[in-house]
Structure 1
Amino acid sequence: MSAGLPVHWLSLGGTIQARGHDPLDADRYWKTGRSLTPEEVLAPVRALLGPVRVEAVDARPSHDLTSDDLLALVARLRALDPADVAGAVVSLGSNGLEEVAFLIWLLGAPVPVAVTASMRPPTAIGSDALPNLVDAVAVARSGGAREHGVVVVSDGAVLHPAEATKSHSSRVDSFRASATALGELRSGVPHWSRPAAPAPLRDHPLPAALAPVEIVTSYVGADGAAVRSATERGVRAIVSAGTGAGFPTGGERQALEDAAAAGVVVCQAQRTPYGRVAPTSAPLLGAGGLSPQKARLLLAVALADGRTPGAPELQRLLDASRPGTAGTA
């Protein structure tokens, strides 16, 4: 049982630890170059949370994390012992949260993991930093989290990593507004409303490196040059972020078909925030409701270390990685 065990907090920096110019600074704080330590952020509520064990990871902007950084983070989480910790919290900058949380969910960990961030620094009036951290600790310690495995916690909501996206550059409900909640926190207690959905690659061997996968975003007039460039660079897969329900231009379509003929895995996604990709036909895979960024990560794991799963297996993984439809169609 996890009662009495500490929650292990892996702190990667970001806005949740940033120190602003003054209490009214909700959007210029990154210019100070200063931050609070994890202990300073936690201090006002530490006595109320139960045992929390802090591990500060090399802090940097989350959008500067490398593939090696992400795999090292998953390895660190996989090394946690359920007999030693009740669960884990990962905090980082909001820019990289959706991709980092999705990769952790894909590969899994032996303890529940709550991933969180904040949209305002803890030094600002009305900051969501401390509430999100407190909620994440409560979720990581809860029994429901053990069923869900890995979740995103933000603005009082528990969200699925396959669905949560940063939908606004500064609003505190940026993540909550992007997806239908798995549950909510009321007075610090998680209340779950949706069933758990297992990750299709949970307990998959941790790859030595992610396979090179490129995202090509469509725009009116695109001639396919970006697709051809990616193919020439030797990528293992290309994710096409098409218009609307996933429609590339005519020039892109031909280039994508040529790439597939050359042995590159091609997945059709959409640049549209919500909804699903229109049905595709061989040799193109369909991302379903996954964002281009998340489809890229799935393929980068599935194709890592020289693996060559066939199109049916890759399509099954893509289909199994989106448990529901986020937001509104």
Structure 2
Amino acid sequence: MTPRIAFIGTGGTIASQGAGPLDTTNYGSSGKPILDAAALLARFPDVAGVAEVLPVPFSAVPSPQIHFPTWKALALLCDELVAENPALAGIVIGHGTATLEETAYALHLTLKVPVPVVLVGAQRPSSALSTDAGLNLVNAIRVAANPASRGLGVLVVLNDEIQAAREVTKTSTGRLQTFRSPDFGVLGQADGDSVNFYRRPLRRGAPDTEFDLRALEALPRVDISYAYAGSDGTAVRAFLAAGAEGIVSAGFAPGFCPPGEAEPLREAAARGVIVVQSTRAGSGRVFPTGKLGEHGFIPADNLSPQKARILLALALTVTRDPAEVARIFATY
């Protein structure tokens, strides 16, 4: 029986068209329209050889503009698709690579559907010579249709590799191997002959989570303060003045903030603002040291600052207790 997969296209490089086959950098100003889901599937008819694919209309949103409203719309749309199509084997979401990892993690923490959900993008527009759009799309559909993908949470597929939403990050501006999982590596690979998995993520994720964004109008404000030599806390004070309910410190490795930021962050934590200590290093855990405990800061484990921000914002929708937030960071 041919599996049935829903494909939601949100725009991005995968759906973009450049001025010519060598246009891999200026395609955003080519004047050519972004391909919708149906047009993108038609451009790569090989998708029909691996599944029955249902194109799902969605607005083309430049990925730098994607945040909570789009995450909520996608979650509701996934609910609707599964309810209306009982035989649906999985869902694939086309997405720009700039914020793909953040959308993947937000959905990983909030989706309630039982079928696999796979995010896919491309580094080269669909019109480019040797574009990766077609093969990435076909492989994402194959992964979503594979029964072994169930129970792994939201997945990301590019460059023949299957990544966990919690771990994956974009590491290169233009190379095809941009998406990597620095600490633990890929979950599996989508090769020409078969889809193969080699490990399973153990941290809790969709659909078994305590977060639900369906009734929310917005997420609590959480900002990221990026450490650099000589940073003096100006950004932290500005975030607090803007109403931040949580702050993620993207600190020095292995996980501490500059001296100039320590004081305003300690003051913020004392006032009930949740402060999570992450690191700008890009890999490795932030350890629960005595100094972090004295400051009232919560370690981000090995989450990147941008993903720690998402988890903290969702945590604040269910609790304001620092001990409970710490539990959440140790769970997801």
Same fold (TM over 0.5): yes
The residue type paired with residue 212 of structure 2 is P
SS of 2:49's partner is helix
Aligned twin of 2:228: 219
Aligned twin of 1:88: 91
Alignment gaps of 5+ in structure 1: 322-329
What is the aligned counterpart of 1:314 among 296, 306, 325? 325
How far the C-alpha of 1:29 sits from its partner, in A, is 1.3
How far the C-alpha of 1:176 sits from its partner, in A, is 3.8
Answer yes or no: is the 8 Å Cα contact 1:154–1:176 preserved in 2.
Answer: no
Answer yes or no: is the 8 Å Cα contact 1:9–1:52 preserved in 2.
Answer: yes
Inter-partner Cα distance in structure 2 for 1:188 and 1:311: 49
How far the C-alpha of 1:83 sits from its partner, in A, is 1.6
Aligned twin of 1:102: 105
Inter-partner Cα distance in structure 2 for 1:256 and 1:192: 42
Matches within 5 A, 1:102-251: 102-110=105-113, 111-176=115-180, 178=182, 180-187=185-192, 189-197=194-202, 198-199=204-205, 202=209, 204-206=211-213, 207-208=215-216, 209-251=218-260
Q: Give a deviation string over 1:139-186, Cα, whole Å, max 9, x none.
A: 111111112131011100100111111100111100047560101012
SS of 2:98's partner is helix
1:36 has 2:35 as partner: yes
- Quickly say closer, same or farther: Cα 1:269–1:78, change in 2 above 3 A: same
Q: Give a deviation string over 1:103-159, Cα, whole Å, max 9, x none.
A: 111112312100010000111111110111001101111111112131011100100
TM-score, normalised via structure 1 length: 0.91
How far the C-alpha of 1:22 sits from its partner, in A, is 1.0
Aligned twin of 1:326: none
Q: Percent identity?
A: 35
SS of 2:134's partner is helix
Answer yes or no: is the 8 Å Cα contact 1:157–1:181 preserved in 2.
Answer: yes
Inter-partner Cα distance in structure 1 for 2:235 and 2:74: 31
Identify the range of structure 1 (132-141 vs 181-190) with the bigger mean alpha-carbon deviation: 181-190
TM-score, normalised via structure 2 length: 0.90
The residue type paired with residue 26 of structure 2 is R
Answer yes or no: is the 8 Å Cα contact 2:36–2:60 preserved in 1.
Answer: no
Aligned twin of 2:310: 297
Inter-partner Cα distance in structure 2 for 1:261 and 1:33: 52
- Quickly say closer, same or farther: Cα 1:177–1:269, change in 2 above 3 A: closer
Identify the range of structure 1 (263-272 vs 49-58) with the bigger mean alpha-carbon deviation: 49-58
How far the C-alpha of 1:202 sits from its partner, in A, is 2.4
Inter-partner Cα distance in structure 2 for 1:229 and 1:46: 49
- Quickly say closer, same or farther: Cα 1:278–1:100, change in 2 above 3 A: same
The residue type paired with residue 36 of structure 2 is T
Deviating 4+ runs (over 6 angstroms): none
How far the C-alpha of 1:277 sits from its partner, in A, is 1.7
Matches within 5 A, 1:20-99: 20-34=18-32, 35-43=34-42, 44-81=45-82, 83-99=86-102
Inter-partner Cα distance in structure 2 for 1:91 and 1:286: 32
SS of 1:122's partner is coil
- Quickly say closer, same or farther: Cα 1:65–1:309, change in 2 above 3 A: same
Answer yes or no: is the 8 Å Cα contact 2:67–2:103 preserved in 1.
Answer: no
What is the aligned counterpart of 1:253 among 254, 262, 268? 262
How far the C-alpha of 1:37 sits from its partner, in A, is 3.5
Alignment gaps of 5+ in structure 2: none
Inter-partner Cα distance in structure 2 for 1:250 and 1:46: 54
The residue type paired with residue 271 of structure 2 is A
Answer yes or no: is the 8 Å Cα contact 2:123–2:174 preserved in 1.
Answer: yes
Q: Give a deviation string over 1:199-249, Cα, whole Å, max 9, x none.
A: 186263225021111111111111112112212222110001012222211
The residue type paired with residue 198 of structure 2 is S
Answer yes or no: is the 8 Å Cα contact 2:282–2:304 preserved in 1.
Answer: yes
Aligned twin of 1:327: none
- Quickly say closer, same or farther: Cα 1:50–1:5, change in 2 above 3 A: closer
Inter-partner Cα distance in structure 2 for 1:214 and 1:12: 25
What is the aligned counterpart of 2:301 among 280, 288, 308? 288
